[in-house]
Each structure stands twice: as C-alpha cells, then as structure tokens.
Structure 1
C-alpha cells in the first residue's frame, strides 16, 4: 500500500485506489497503477521515458499512450482535488499533493490516517483550532453555574474588623460587606444599641460577625463561644433596617427575646441528643434555626423565625428548604409566612482568607401565606417577602462558619443579613 493522502491509498497488487473516507475503491489499469506509483515515489518531476518504462515494461509504445494514460488517471483523481497530476513542459509529469487538503471523515479504525491528517495541517490551522477550542471552553465556563457563583462571591469582602460592645464587653469581630458599601465605621452597628442600657452581668466574652449590603446592618453574636466553638445557646441576631438609631435596650432585649421565642414556635425543632447513635432513618436532614430581631426606634420589635434545611443526595448537591415566619412583640401582626424549596449546588470559596460554603439554590417551589393583619412595624417585611415571592428564581446562601452545634449564615432573604444558627441533625 502506498499512501497518497491521509485517507487515500494506492493498492498496487489490486490495481486500485482505496478511499477510506468513503469506503470506496477506484479501479486502475496496470499502466495507470504503475504510472501513479512511479509519480508517488519520485522526488520531483518524473520524465516521460521513466513513466513509459514503468507503465509498459518490455514493450515499445508511442508517447501518446502515456498521454492517454495520464488523461484517464486525471479523471479518476477528479474527486480528490488535493491530488493534482501536473504537466511540466519539456520535462515530464509531477504529482502535487496539497498539504492543506480538505477535511475528510476518516475511518475510526484508521489510526495512522487520523494521526497523519492531524499532523499534516499547517501550524496556522492548528493554532486556529486550539483557539476555537479555548473559546468554546471559555464560553462554557462563562455560562456555567460555577462562574455565576464565583461572580456572586466576588461581590463580598471580609478583609476588615471592627470593635463591637455588647453588654459592656468589647470584642473585635470580622466585617462582611459588599464592595460598593462606603460606611463601614463601627458606629453603623453600635449606634442601634442604647449605650445607657448596654450592660449584661453574665457576658464576659463573645464571638461574632457583622455584615452589611449598604441597606441594612446585621450582627450575629454567640455569648457561649469558648475556644472557637459555639454551643448555640443564647444567640443574639440583630439587624437594623433603618439608618436612625434604634435605641435597643439590651437588658430588656434579653428578656423580651426569651418571651417571644417561648411564645410561638413555627420553625424550631427540639431534637433529643441522648441516643443519637440509635437514630433510625436513611436520610439525614441538616437543620439550622435562628431568631433574628429587627429593632426600629418607636416601633414594635419584629422577630423573624428562620429555618434552613439541607438534604444531600450527593457530595455537593441536594434538596434545600427554608421557612421564615414574621411576628411582632405584641402579636398585632398575624404571622407572615414564606417557604421556599429547591435544589442546591454547594461550592467552596475563599473570602479574604475565610473559607465559605456557597449554596446556589434554584427554586422549584414558593409559598407565601399572607397575614390577616399587618402592623406598621411589620409592613416593611410584608413588602420584602412579597417581592421575593414574585421575583426569586435563584438564590445564594453563604455559610461563613460551621461547627458541630452551630453555624453562621449570610442569607439573601429580607436583605443580605448575617445570623448565627443553632444546628441539629434529623434522621428521617
């Protein structure tokens, strides 16, 4: 077999051209096969005498026999325009095979032809192909969920700390803020706690985070934060939605929040831990619960009872559930309830040195239960949740820190607010 192109071969024994791209053959006469072979092995121009000797050995023929042979050979090569049998005046004939032949569909079992076809193309074609592949990969990455998640995380920063005074105890804690936020002075959080009542006798230390998206200023505090672990007891989550000082009385807040949390429970579940090892069920629900308070000067204190649940069906995907219930301290607002359900993808990202789990949630179900009565204090929340119900199709939740008993989440509902959640597992 003599190779003509990466997909076309000359079979001298069978006197035929084998087209591996189309799985066809082209029959040749003895003279056509011999002349074509002689042209293939020649380094340059092959003179007429050598071709006549090869095509008609031991015979005396006229030069017109060669002319006729070349003519019929050209016709048989017409389907292959990259193979040109050229006449060189006063010298003879030359077979010219283009290095930039047309792309052909090669037989999948013809590894040698495929290799030849790939390596015979010009460097410019190779570079062009590489650029096309890179462009396709870039386009795929640009529209991918990972890229969208990467862009969302890029909106946030955590490279600063502030000093926060809770109950007379000061701690330096991280600030999580969006890139376009200008007001990051500690007073944007501290001013909402009335200084004359900011004293707690049983608070010696605490761990915490503060966050802002430029519209609200939230703080998440764990009083029981020994050796970097939070047991989830006595958590304080406070979010200011008004730029004017809220004047929150911390002494009264501790008592009031306990009364509110014991009065009505919608989302918190109490799980016994004495016999965790004997829990039955083949599904694990990771359940998080937080109470978030929204103080506004001269308004009733509003509480958001929030739960988040994750059920994994793979290492980083699964079902996501969230429920939020809004009430006020005097029960003037009948509960405003909002539930969402969807599928999540979990990504690990670094936010200025903080390891963050990002949950991209694509919503499949939303349920908004309208209240019968809304107090002026809760009207802001009614509008916010109603907007979520209309607009949201995809949400991003950020788990800032996580341990065996609690976690800190930055959630997109009611604005981007940070809160410290109690964590439990439920076997289903």
Structure 2
C-alpha cells in the first residue's frame, strides 16, 4: 500500500485506490496502475513519455496515443481528490503533484501516522482558524455554563459592613446587601417604616442585622442579642417593605400581633418529637422564617417560609420550598406556593462577604389558590401567579449560617432577605 494523502492510499496488488473517508475503492487497469506507480516512485520530478510507456506496456510496442488515453482516464479517476494533480509538462512528459494542503473535511484513518500527517499538512491559516473556532466554542460553553450564571448572579450584589440602623431603643450596625443599581442606600429607607419607640428592645443591649434591597423591596432581618457570631434564634424580626410610603409600624403592637399570627396557625414549621433514634437514611436541613410586609393602612401580611435541603453528595441534592401567605385578620385564606427541584451548591464572595449560592432547577411547582383574597394580599398573589408560569431556574443565597439560624436572600416578591430558624432532621 502506498500512501498518497493522509486519507487516500494506492493498493498496488489489487490495482485500486482506497478512499478512507468515503470507504470508496477506485479500480484501475493494469496500465493505469503501472503508470501511477511509476509517477509515485520516480526519482525525477517529471516522467518522460518513454518511461511511462515502458512501465504501462512492458515488452510491447504501442502508440503514444495509448499513453495519452491512459493519462486521461487516470485523471478522471483522480479528479475527486483535488490534492492530487496529474500535470502535462510540455515536451517533457508528465508530473504527479500532491498538494501539502489537505482539503479533506473528515478523517477516517485509524493509524496515528496518517492523523499526524493530516494535521501537519494543513496550512498555517487553517490551523489558526481551527484554534480560533475552538477557543470561541470554549468561550461560548463557559458563557452558557451554570458556573458563569452563578458568577453573574453574585456579581450583581455588593456588601457593606457597619451599616447603622436604629430599631426601637437600640442603635447598632449590621451588614448591607444591595444590587449594584439599587438607589437610596440610606438607613432612612428601612427606618422610615418604623414608628420611633424608645421602650422597644430595652431588654437587649445590642442586635445583629442584615439590611438588603434589590432596588424595589427593602428587607430588614434582625436577631436581638449581643453575640454577633451566634444568633440565639429568639425574637427574630423579618420586615420587608414593598411600598415607598412609610408604613408607620408600631413595633410593640407588631410583636404582639406577629406572635398571635404565628400561634394561630403554623403551616410550614417542621415539628418532630425529640428522639434518641436518629439513624434516618437522609439528613434534612430545614430553614423556617416568618416575614412580614407592612404597608400603611393595609392589613399586615405574613409569609410563612419553609425550605429544606437534602444532600445526595457534597454539593447537590433535593430542594423543597413552601411559602404560605396570610393576613392578620384571616380575611385572606392561605395562598400556598410550593417548589421542588434539584439544587447545586456553590461558594462565592459578595465583596468581602463569603456566601453560598444554590442553583435550583425547578421540577415541580404548585400554587394553591385562596378561596378569599383581601385587597392587601392581591400584589403577593399576583407575584406568585407570575412565578408559577415563569420560574424554571432559581437562585437562593445563604449569607450567614450558625448552629441555630441562617440568613437567606431568596427570589420572592423580588428579593427578600430574612433570618431563618435552622434545624436538622433525620428522615
């Protein structure tokens, strides 16, 4: 077998050309095979007519027209292979020219030598073009990857330490989380919804807090106590404003009302009896928070939020979320929105704040419509209704975690940041 190009070989015994791309075999006559063999092996760049006549018709005397006809048919059989050209050299003979630039689009050669030859035979321009295309494909793959989506999501947020807040009788500092295009990053945007009250929180000396805004909603998540590292999980306050007009929330009345609302009915808190037998097959990480949405002259709306993570590896698993919306007078019967899917956990940074971000691929959604809907709850129902149609992929950011609590920013009515109770259960 003589190799003509990386994909075309000449079988001298069977008198045929073997195309390894198409699998086609081109049959040659004895004379065509002999002439081609001499052209391939000749030490001279040009083969004379006498030399080719002697090779193609040994021990015979034939006219030059026989060689001319043989060259013509051989050219037709080589015509599909543009790298191989059988040229006539005037008054000298014939020359077989094989280009070093391969036009083959797909190699089907098994031996490594042919593969190497096919690569090195291409021009520098073709090589550079191939490298550029490969790099573009890599960039596109990265751009549409989940990791890039995570980076994009986190890049929209910024963090600021020592953000001063006045809540009741206490003045303290917390962390501020905000989207980069969010306006009005002033404590007033959070404090304006609270009535001044010098008697509120007098039993505490300090508090830990997270203030957050996506530019539309302004959330305040507060844990009373002077331990900045570990929240005791008692007296958590989660307020989110969804209206620019000051809500004028009376803090003392709010605490009494919110306690009554939470004791009246609890849809989402997981309550399991204590047991020494904790050998369940799965470990559930459960987070629960009550978030309140004060609006001036409207009923107080409560969102009872429950989230569960069940890991099946170090950073993947099952995600469950259930949100129940009610109002202070029970005029709105429960609006329930449930989400189930697969999560992938990533670690990242928002400025100097280390966070965990969870990408949830939604597999199932359930929106339970209320029998009655008060005017105060209409905007919340519409938001959940819209999410029920649209959400395919969700991002949840955990910005703090300790033994008993955690702080999450979740995609609910825009972005809502709240302090959650945290428990683990064997199931």
Match of 1:233? 234
Cα distance in 2, alignment partners of residues 340 and 49 from structure 1: 86
Per-residue deviation, residues 361-393 of structure 1 (Å, max 9, x unmatched): 343433333434444444443443344344444
Match of 2:192? 191
Match of 1:336? 335
Match of 2:365? 366
Asked if the contact 1:222/1:232 (under 8 Å) is kept, the reply is yes
Per-residue deviation, residues 260-299 of structure 1 (Å, max 9, x unmatched): 3233211112345673xx3132122221100112223344
1:178 offset after TM fit, Å? 1.9
Asked if the contact 2:229/2:402 (under 8 Å) is kept, the reply is no
Match of 1:9? 9
1:227 offset after TM fit, Å? 5.4
Asked if the contact 1:167/1:203 (under 8 Å) is kept, the reply is no
Asked if the contact 2:284/2:426 (under 8 Å) is kept, the reply is yes
Match of 1:404? 403
1:320 aligns with 2:324: no
Aligned-CA RMSD value: 3.1
Per-residue deviation, residues 19-50 of structure 1 (Å, max 9, x unmatched): 33344544556654454334234463334455
Asked if the contact 1:224/1:232 (under 8 Å) is kept, the reply is no
Match of 1:37? 37
Match of 2:383? 384
Match of 1:18? 18
Gaps of 5+ in 1: none
Cα distance in 2, alignment partners of residues 51 and 173 from structure 1: 94
When residues 40 and 269 of structure 1 are mapped into structure 2, their CA distance, relative to the original with a 3 A threshold, is same
Cα distance in 1, alignment partners of residues 207 and 355 from structure 2: 21
1:96 offset after TM fit, Å? 1.3
Asked if the contact 1:222/1:234 (under 8 Å) is kept, the reply is yes
Range moving further from structure 2, 6-15 or 414-423: 6-15
Cα distance in 1, alignment partners of residues 122 and 369 from structure 2: 68
Asked if the contact 1:341/1:363 (under 8 Å) is kept, the reply is yes
When residues 61 and 363 of structure 1 are mapped into structure 2, their CA distance, relative to the original with a 3 A threshold, is closer
When residues 385 and 24 of structure 1 are mapped into structure 2, their CA distance, relative to the original with a 3 A threshold, is closer
Asked if the contact 2:7/2:109 (under 8 Å) is kept, the reply is no
When residues 231 and 53 of structure 1 are mapped into structure 2, their CA distance, relative to the original with a 3 A threshold, is farther
Per-residue deviation, residues 71-91 of structure 1 (Å, max 9, x unmatched): 443344234333111011122
1:410 offset after TM fit, Å? 0.8
When residues 105 and 215 of structure 1 are mapped into structure 2, their CA distance, relative to the original with a 3 A threshold, is closer
Asked if the contact 2:21/2:109 (under 8 Å) is kept, the reply is no
When residues 215 and 39 of structure 1 are mapped into structure 2, their CA distance, relative to the original with a 3 A threshold, is same
When residues 273 and 64 of structure 1 are mapped into structure 2, their CA distance, relative to the original with a 3 A threshold, is same
Range moving further from structure 2, 128-137 or 48-57: 48-57
Cα distance in 1, alignment partners of residues 57 and 372 from structure 2: 108
Cα distance in 2, alignment partners of residues 51 and 139 from structure 1: 56
Range moving further from structure 2, 120-129 or 342-351: 342-351
When residues 269 and 257 of structure 1 are mapped into structure 2, their CA distance, relative to the original with a 3 A threshold, is same
1:3 offset after TM fit, Å? 1.9
When residues 52 and 320 of structure 1 are mapped into structure 2, their CA distance, relative to the original with a 3 A threshold, is same
Cα distance in 1, alignment partners of residues 390 and 81 from structure 2: 60
Between the two proteins, the alignment pairs up a number of residues equal to: 426
Cα distance in 2, alignment partners of residues 170 and 343 from structure 1: 41
When residues 33 and 187 of structure 1 are mapped into structure 2, their CA distance, relative to the original with a 3 A threshold, is same
1:296 aligns with 2:295: yes
TM-score by length of 1: 0.86
1:219 offset after TM fit, Å? 0.8
1:18 offset after TM fit, Å? 3.4
1:213 offset after TM fit, Å? 1.8
The DSSP-based 3-state class of the residue aligned with 1:9 is strand
When residues 371 and 197 of structure 1 are mapped into structure 2, their CA distance, relative to the original with a 3 A threshold, is farther
Cα distance in 1, alignment partners of residues 62 and 385 from structure 2: 98
Asked if the contact 1:230/1:406 (under 8 Å) is kept, the reply is yes
